[in-house]
Structure 1
Amino acid sequence: MPDWEKRFRAPRIGLPDWAEDAPDRSLFVSNATGTFELYTWDRATGKQRQATDRPNGTTDGTLSPDGRSIWWFSDTDGDEFGVWMRQPFEGGPDEPATPGLAPSYPGGLAIGRDGTAVVGCSTDEEGSTVHVVRPGEAPVEIYRHRESAGVGDLSHDGSLIALEHTEHGDAMHSAIRVVRPDGSTVAELDDTKGGTEELGLSVMGFAPVDGDARLLVGHQRRGRWEPMIWDPLTGVETALDIDLPGDVGADWYPDGSALLVEHEYQARSELWRYELSTAGGHGAAGGAGSGADDAAAGAAGPLSRVETPAGTVSGATARPDGTVEFLWSSAAQPPEVRSTSGEVVLDPPGMKAPGSVPVRDVWVEGPGGRIHALVQQPAGEGPFPTVFDIHGGPTWHDSDAFASAPAAWVDHGFAVVRVNYRGSTGYGRAWTDALKHRVGLIELEDIAAVRAWAVSSGLADPERLVLSGGSWGGYLTLLGLGTQPDAWAVGLAAVPVADYVTAYNDEMEALKAMDRTLLGGTPEEVPERFEASSPLTYVDAVRAPVYISAGVNDPRCPIQQVENYVQRLAGRSHPHEVYRYDAGHGSLVVEERIKQVRLELDFAQRHVNERS
């Protein structure tokens, strides 16, 4: 078995979630059976159990606070449309967790200690709704709006619900509303009003203590994501003195005495502990009735480093004993779930994934500022055939983390370049928010600048350049093949947007809202922008052979708009291949994923070799 296949087949596990009131009970995701499914883990006995078993896999699940049950989202073959199911932690039959709620796209979930659930839903017909579901009672709708909204969190005592919403119409920048379980509004925090720029907010979680109303909130007021503490009962906002460059997130330590800070900067991440004072740390002192002085004192604690290796922390959680568990990897080293105690938390059985080569950082001057790219290359001297592997999102970024697909290209003699173009996260709000109106074209300007560097530096052979990506990266691949036809030898697009107007009309409602924000309106309102940003507009200019893979149940990049693009390629007898598979926006089945990568490798090698 070649190393590239071993990397996919080697068993992996995600960061274990644990029940707040039963911390020995955990839930994690693993591909141990060849399909990513949910597993329970009783830390006290060491027993592990596969909880879900579906042909196309399951990854969306959580534990009730008491640890007695797991909740998991049941859709149909990856279409992301379905209902929440519930199963006893020890095993047993599944049952509908929210009887009376019709199937929908998920819009957040919070479970209370009395069994009450707050469930967010989204449908094309009704927009966004939020329901309170109490045991043995019919669901009660407490929120409805046409724009995107969802459940952020439920307070520890169940008295407050935090909602994220975009009623103002900008799907990239949410506001926060705190309501009571009857839907009545307690307070509103909205950074989209009163300024020249719209700023986003995100719910990070209520304090984990009864009687404590403080909400940890992410904001962008200083040009990046960072946390603050807001008490919706008093209106007090507490700034946190965290002097770190890049984006900063946070979560509570279990006793509310400190914050676990997750810091992302220049494609790496690290962890810190932020101490809160006793007055602001826990109990009633930080909740209703606390004064501004007490709240301000809550930000006085020092920042101390939580030691992690250089690379990327993909998730972290503080345990009741004060240790921190985190999922870590680097481009060269496969992922592990580690603990600050020095132990590997879970070590899956079976073969171990072979490592790969490390990334090096490249900074290139571009039309909108310096562009950060990550480069991996095989042994030997260039120029190499080179894959530009473009990330999805677009609000995402590539990082120094282990990824099996880029490693497979390196094994086959290709250099790999990953570009954190404008629109990517991790480089400040201005870099992310630059992606508006000239959607797709902006990102491709940055990719072109990095391509010019790759050729001039001697890394890349200009005759053997492959443009590749999935989701938004697949969209940029097809758009790039049409708008930069002389730049690329091969194009590989997975689950792409190919015909922007048809994609908008067929996609899930939350993505329609995002497209309206990015492009400034609907296809009827701004037809010229949709036309300029649609790969279908430029399909007749494409010169490179094109490979497309698509899920027939994909709600994000629906199949019909892909078929429209393929028909145009076929109409001009352009060399192309299409692979359709029975899943949604990607596959959770290991052998299916290997098949897709093998097809991409074979297609690229055939056509690149023709140009050698």
Structure 2
Amino acid sequence: MTQQTEPTGSDPADALPNWEKRFRAPRTGLPDWAEDAPDRALFVSNATGTFELYAWDRATGGQRQVTDRPNGTTDGVLTPDGEWIWWFSDTDGDEFGVWMRQPFGGGDDEPATPGLAAAYPAGLALGRDGGAVVGRSTDEEGSTLHVVRPGAEPVEIYRHAESAGVGDLSHDGGLVAVEHTEHGDAMHSALRVVRPDGTTVAELDDSAGGTRELGLTVLGFAPVAGDSRLLVGHQRRGRWEPMIWDPLTGETTDLAIDLPGDVGAEWYPDGSALLVVHSHQARSEMWRYETATGDLVRVPTPDGSVSGATARPDGTVEYLWSSAALPPQVRSTTGEVVLDPPGMKAPPSVPVEDAWVEGPGGTVHALVQRPAGEGPFPTVFDVHGGPTWHDSDAFASQPAAWVDHGFAVVRVNYRGSTGYGRAWTDALKHRVGLIELEDVAAVRDWAVSSGLADPERLVLAGGSWGGYLTLLGLGTQPDAWAVGLAAVPVADYVTAYQDEMEALKSLDRTLLGGTPEEVPERYAASSPLTYVDRVRAPVYISAGVNDPRCPIRQVENYVERLAGRDHPHEVYRYDAGHGSLVVEERIKQLRLEIEFATRHLGTPTHLGTPTDQPGPAGQPGPTGR
């Protein structure tokens, strides 16, 4: 099979295969703007070959690179007045560090939170008085929240052993919204609003001690002076949807937004309406909801997925849009493209098709991309991370690369995925990993029986939680898969629990019903290491040596067992954390995966121009793992 390339021209980049161009093409994230200085914006771009933060003065058009670090930077926030950029500084992707700040117009970086030691970040809210509320998490202290003011020592206003974080800060700085899991259920947060001195104003808790399994999340305080209303996401009707809560009066206002699927929202800048982003069956829509009248008006967008949106002070909406076939663009409801980085453009890919398959726990939704020609095809089951996430009709360079190489790609929104209601998301508890793989197996059987997939050339692949499911699937379904490709996986669940960051320990206790000492049989049943001697397919593993989510020691334990039985495998270790923000590393990681799969499947392929740059492309899930 051969790869598609664009016609060769004078630019050397023209000779690159399309799959590399999709990674190398400059792209930008959705710009964030300063609340009181909307012409000052901050965005993420890979223009230099590494994802970094960029400042944009929209009044002058001037842009400049803010951060420049070997492993990239993506976490940054503007102060409300637009004078400062806060960014999170960790070490080689380990996610453990401190907040720094830099003047918007440029200058030296300086510590933003003097007096606070390094920690995992747990939310940040910046005030109009120059202060901030900083959330932190460490194994020793648990979750802590601190008020930081210029020239003063940080003041701790919250501490608990379970996971918690900063939700938001009210417009006047007098109220702090806290998301917490003090009841012990890390999948379903409760809310507390406190004053800057830590005294409690109000509580909102739908969990009822964790028995009802209903969660809440902070969507944001009203963005106008004198308004104490807090927009909250809730699951009272079996899905995510917004409501308004005033913590000063205790009043809650239900919002009559009759849309299927999960519904999120944020305020318009004048507080008169909500921008609703509606996710259903792997696609997105946007709506404007008038809080005074309840009127719901569609905000037109093309078919596909909106991965971020923001309402501007003039009432227009800017959003990051893509589809499986078309690369992402930052668009406006004015019809304009807001940011169009210069240089190479990412080639399109093929559209995604929907498959609905009956599984043991209900109907499973899968997304399918087909290469040119007639099937059955060698097929990659690309399993998403999270686990509470979902694949959507959005542009992704990795599946597109496999399609270019003649593979069909199937992505399964297994039980545990978001976007299909609370019951679907919560179904994976206690039989963790095994439930998800039942859904993958049902879709695999459909793919084979429909003539899409060649049963002798099935690849199970994924990163983070998807990497975990890959290794678990290779051991529990050994006859089903010809090759396994696991990036930054959980491989030995007990050791992973011992070494991972505290927030993930809380998640694992929720998912499995306790610690490894309390429910050892569940950890054993859900651990890939338990089934390693049953694995038949060749295994490729990539792992970051600084990964706090899927730590390296537990990967080495699994690899040692493979090596002990002389099983065919390769391991790629790299000096970063849970994935990579460096384009060359992502390309090399995928190149190694494709080479490994095609070599063991006996499928010829041409990988294009080689690269000598080291590094991987882990595929972390956006939440959890």
Q: Under a length normalisation based on structure 1, what TM-score does the superposition of the two structures give?
A: 0.96
The answer on 1:342 being equivalent to 2:335 is yes
Distance 1:165 1:546 in 2: 39
- CA 486–315 in structure 1, closer or farther in 2 if over 3 Å, else same: same
Spell out the pairing of 1:164-563 with structure 2 (5 A cutoff): 164-193=179-208, 197-277=212-292, 300-563=293-556
Task: Please tell me the residue identity of whatever aligns with 2:294.
Answer: G
Aligned length: 590
> Between the two proteins, what is the percent identity of the paired residues?
86
Task: Please tell me the residue identity of whatever aligns with 2:365.
Answer: H
Distance 1:414 1:610 in 2: 10
* CA shift digits 1:314-352 (9 cap, x unpaired): 000000000000000000000000000110000001000
Distance 1:276 1:428 in 2: 24
Task: Please tell me the residue identity of whatever aligns with 2:69.
Answer: R
Distance 1:73 1:276 in 2: 35
Q: Is the 8 A contact 2:464 2:489 kept in 1?
A: yes
Describe the SS at the equivalent of 1:57: coil
Task: Please tell me the residue identity of whatever aligns with 1:91.
Answer: G
Describe the SS at the equivalent of 1:563: helix
* CA shift digits 1:252-305 (9 cap, x unpaired): 00000100001000000010000122xxxxxxxxxxxxxxxxxxxxxx320000
Q: Any stretches of 5+ residues in structure 1 without a counterpart?
A: 278-299
Describe the SS at the equivalent of 2:113: coil
Q: Under a length normalisation based on structure 2, what TM-score does the superposition of the two structures give?
A: 0.94
Distance 2:499 2:448 in 1: 39
Aligned position for 1:287 = none
Describe the SS at the equivalent of 1:13: coil
Task: Please tell me the residue identity of whatever aligns with 2:50.
Answer: T
The answer on 1:140 being equivalent to 2:155 is yes
Q: Is the 8 A contact 1:274 1:304 kept in 2?
A: yes
Task: Please tell me the residue identity of whatever aligns with 2:310.
Answer: T
Aligned position for 2:117 = 102
* CA shift digits 1:183-223 (9 cap, x unpaired): 00000000011795220000000000111110000000000
Distance 1:503 1:320 in 2: 46
Q: Is the 8 A contact 2:185 2:210 kept in 1?
A: no
Distance 2:208 2:70 in 1: 46
The answer on 1:30 being equivalent to 2:45 is yes
1:609 Cα shift? Answer: 1.1
Distance 1:91 1:203 in 2: 32
Describe the SS at the equivalent of 1:328: strand
Q: Is the 8 A contact 1:13 1:28 kept in 2?
A: yes
Aligned position for 1:289 = none
* CA shift digits 1:4-43 (9 cap, x unpaired): 0000000010000000000000000000000000000000
Aligned position for 1:283 = none
Task: Please tell me the residue identity of whatever aligns with 2:391.
Answer: D
* CA shift digits 1:553-593 (9 cap, x unpaired): 00000000000000000000000000001110000000000
1:379 Cα shift? Answer: 1.0
* CA shift digits 1:41-87 (9 cap, x unpaired): 00000000000000000000010000001000000000000000000
Question: Which 4+ stretches in 1 moved above 3 angstroms?
Answer: none
Distance 1:5 1:242 in 2: 42
* CA shift digits 1:117-174 (9 cap, x unpaired): 0000000000000000011100000000000000000000000000000000000000
How large is the RMSD of aligned CA atoms in angstroms? 1.0
Q: Is the 8 A contact 1:312 1:328 kept in 2?
A: yes
Aligned position for 2:609 = none
Distance 1:415 1:378 in 2: 6
Q: Any stretches of 5+ residues in structure 2 without a counterpart?
A: 1-15, 606-625
Task: Please tell me the residue identity of whatever aligns with 2:545.
Answer: V
- CA 484–94 in structure 1, closer or farther in 2 if over 3 Å, else same: same
Distance 2:420 2:170 in 1: 32
- CA 194–523 in structure 1, closer or farther in 2 if over 3 Å, else same: closer
Distance 1:134 1:5 in 2: 46
1:482 Cα shift? Answer: 0.2
Aligned position for 1:288 = none
Distance 2:73 2:210 in 1: 42
Distance 2:358 2:297 in 1: 34
Describe the SS at the equivalent of 2:19: helix
Q: Is the 8 A contact 1:415 1:460 kept in 2?
A: yes
* CA shift digits 1:357-416 (9 cap, x unpaired): 000000000000000000001011100000000000000000000000000000000000
